[in-house]
Amino acid sequence: MTRRVVVTGASSGIGEATARLFAARGWEVVGIARRADRLAALAAGTGIRTIVADLTVAADVARVRDEVRALGPLHALVNNAGGAFGMASVEHGDPADWRAMFEINVVAVKSLIAALLPALRDGARDAGHADILTVTSIAAHLAYEGGAGYNASKAGAHMLTAVLRLELAGEPIRVIEVAPGMVKTDEFSLVRFGGDRQKADAVYDNVEAPLVADDIAEAIVHAIELPGHVNLDLVTIKPVAQAAPHKVIRGALTPKG
């Protein structure tokens, strides 16, 4: 049986790593992102099908729905696309940044789930179960200064996921949340700091073994490939050097005593 998965934000970082790992594991992968050139590079040599779309645009979501439904049953959806914009306080934060974070981290997730649920129900009939996995953040669960807009939007995604699990109870559709901590990727911090490479690099400076995209991809694929009666409601993943969003150890990790 061919298993089919949609992965959003597939043009870079966690999304790209996840799409590649699913493909390597024999899944038929549909990768969605805004950047056509990056998706073309992903498709080359992997067999991954791609759809260029902005999931904050209703017409694009409808087009994704139609293209995915045309392929047949959908067995898993990985909502990975998201972002953080700025580190300003509640007092000084730009409302435009907040709106952008809520659009991509919450509203787009809701829109795509609603659009693809019929295909996922077909997948559940086909395989016995289907999966909806949303990548949030430890910021959804723990507040930190400068994170208010991101904290609030990811907390929104966390609650959306929790409510969806209740609403789908009785159907063979697992609802999973993966909440990463510090993950060193090419773009996350760079986008957050408006392209300031020095500030972006400083986030990971002298941190022993921050997580990388492949670490999160492994957790995502593992959760979805578990037996269908096993649901990992919430998976929290941090590097050992990070005890909390605001407590990151810089320098070597050494035993005491």
Which residues does the annotation mark as catalytic? Answer: 150
DSSP-assigned letter for residue 27? -
| CB burial readout 39-75, b (16+ within 10 A) else e | beebbeebebbbbbbebbeeebbeebbeebeeeebbb
Alpha-carbon distance 235 to 220, whole Å? 9
Tokens 């919450």 correspond to: 106
Alpha-carbon distance 134 to 177, whole Å? 5
Q: Residue 127 corresponds to which amino acid?
A: A
- Provide the CA 195 distance to its chain's centre, in angstroms: 21
Alpha-carbon distance 187 to 199, whole Å? 12
Burial of 14 (0-12, 13-18, 19+ CB in 10 A): buried
